[in-house]
Amino acid sequence: MTAYPVDTGNLSDLLCAMLEHEGCAPEEARIVADHLVEASARGHDSHGVVRISRYVQWLRSGKIKANRAAKVIADIGALVQLDGQSGMGQRLAGEAISIGIERARSHGTAIIAMRHAGHIGRLGAYAEQAARAGFVSLHFVNVGGSRIVAPFGSAEAACSTAPIAIGVPNPGGDDFILDFATSMVAEGKALVAARGGPPLPPEALVGSDGQRTSDPQVLYGDTLNAPVPDPRAGTGALRTMGDHKGSGLALACELLAGALTGNGTNKQGDGIFGNGYVAIVIDPARLDDTGGFAAEVRDYIDFVRGLRPEAGLERVQIPGDPERARQHHTRLNGLTVPPGVMLAILDLAEEMGLDAQGLEHEAMA
């Protein structure tokens, strides 16, 4: 199958119809579908449309559940603990940050701790949500029941991909949005590579023999060519990024988003699947006695962007710039979906009896 540019709006409509077919209410289905397409449009294919087959499988098996709102477990003003009740993660995380923004507006800061959420998707989306409202935010996630990443020096998995995000608003300019998995690559990137997308970096994984590799086979094992590969089926693991430094951050995510929230860490044994999530939201106005915060952020971002680039690079970028550039390109040219991913979506649409016509992007004049 040849890849061709896809219209993002029509693709989102199709994914929305799929989620409604599996029991999600229209509003919830739209939140999740738009999030997946937006993640792909911004270059985060690992958290984009490749996920729809897995979401459908999880909904059918009861691993995640449609139409579950966040349940308040503890409410102490600026500190709120939530239980996601295994609901759709994108909806739940959006609700959690809305609460964080509201409480930070009242108290100056807020800490939101959520357990048992379904896969919340691209973590940077929630840093963007807070930044649009004018708030600084820090985000930590673990994935309970997803022990697929080996800490530094280990040939065995002991943690999840454990993403971190930080957002700083830049009024009148581009916000600072840092979003990264603490594994060298997100698990979804291994899945995209296995489906005909870009290959993984050398040494992104480690086999059970302790040898580093880029072959997704060590992660997915015999399920590699299944409709929905299982990253726990192989004998190997993803590696943490940044050697001991990235490994330390991954373990911190397990302790903060896993132990502290009650979601559970990825210790020995099979835990219950779910995202644990800690978000810290800060109102910068409460600390801005000099009134210089906005100008300082703007001037520093401009300074960094204006630095002389390394040989072979056009310019220095800040976190969030690559995603904005990719989003602009997608808006003009459509979304290029790897052939294997597109085929899986079309097969799923056919199984559900949904019309998948009209997906091809029409070039803008």
User: What does the pLDDT look like over 269-321, one tens digit per residue?
Assistant: 777 889 999 999 999 999 999 999 999 999 999 999 999 999 999 999 999 99
Residue 88's Cβ-count burial label (10 Å; 0-12, 13-18, 19+) is buried
Q: Given this model, what pLDDT does residue 143 score? A: 93
> What pLDDT is attached to residue 189?
86
The CATH number of the domain where 321 resides is what? 3.30.1370.60
Q: How far apart are CA 153 and CA 244, in angstroms?
A: 8
Tell whether 167 and 285 lie within a shared domain: yes
Instruction: Write the CATH number for 211.
Output: 3.30.60.50
Kindly state whether residues 201 and 82 are assigned to the same domain.
no
The answer to whether residue 85 scores a pLDDT higher than 50 is yes
Q: Is residue 363 predicted with pLDDT exceeding 60?
A: no
**41 and 110: one domain?**
no
Q: State yes or no: pLDDT of 353 exceeds 90.
A: yes
Count of structural domains, the chain: 3
pLDDT score, position 362: 65
Say if residues 162 and 253 touch (Cβ distance below 8 Å). Answer: yes
What integer pLDDT is reported at residue 121 of this predicted model? Answer: 96
pLDDT number for residue 226 = 87
Query: Cβ atoms within 10 A of the Cβ of 39, count?
Result: 24
Mean of per-residue pLDDT scores for the chain: 94
Tell which wins on pLDDT, 357 or 137. 137
Task: Inform me whether the pLDDT recorded for 261 exceeds 90.
Answer: yes
b/e sequence 44-59, b meaning 16+ C-beta within 10 Å: bbbbbbbbbbbbbbbb
Tell me if residue 138 falls in helix, strand or coil.
strand
The answer to whether the CB of 249 falls within 8 A of the CB of 79 is no
Q: What tokens appear for 258 in the block?
A: 């896993």
Whether 198 and 289 map to the same domain: the answer is no
| pLDDT range class, residue 211, cuts 50, 70, 90 | very high
Final residue of a domain: which of 196, 224, 239? 239
Residue 336 scores a pLDDT above 60: yes
Same domain, 123 and 253: yes
Residues 276, 326 within the same domain: yes
- Mean pLDDT, residues 18-42 taken together: 98
Same domain, 178 and 103: yes
Confidence at 364, pLDDT banded by 50, 70, 90: very low
Q: Are residues 5 and 18 in the same domain?
A: yes
Q: Given this model, what pLDDT does residue 147 score?
A: 92
Q: CB-side exposure of 354: number of CA atoms within 13 Å?
A: 22
What's the confidence (pLDDT) of residue 88? 98
**pLDDT reported for residue 225:** 86
Residue 61 in contact with residue 86, Cβ under 8 Å? no
Domain of residue 324: give its range.
68-148+155-183+245-333
Same domain, 199 and 321: no
Side chain identity, residue 136: V
Entry pTM: 0.92
pLDDT at 2: 61
Rounded to 10°, the helix 26-41/124-132 angle is: 100
pLDDT one-digit tens code per residue, 217-236: 999 999 988 888 899 899 99
With a cut of 70, say whether residue 127 has pLDDT above it: yes
Lowest mean pLDDT among 111-120, 124-133, 173-182, 187-196: 187-196
pLDDT of residue 228: 83
- With bands split at pLDDT 50, 70 and 90, how would you rate the model's confidence at 75? very high
148-181 pLDDT, tens per residue?
A: 999 999 999 999 999 999 999 999 999 999 999 9
- Asked whether residue 22 carries a pLDDT value surpassing 80, the answer given is yes
Query: Any idea what the CATH number is for the domain that residue 11 is in?
Result: 1.10.1530.10
pLDDT at position 360 is: 78
Q: Are residues 300 and 200 in the same domain?
A: no
Start-end of H helices in the chain: 8-21, 26-41, 52-61, 89-107, 124-132, 187-194, 217-220, 243-253, 293-305, 321-333, 339-352
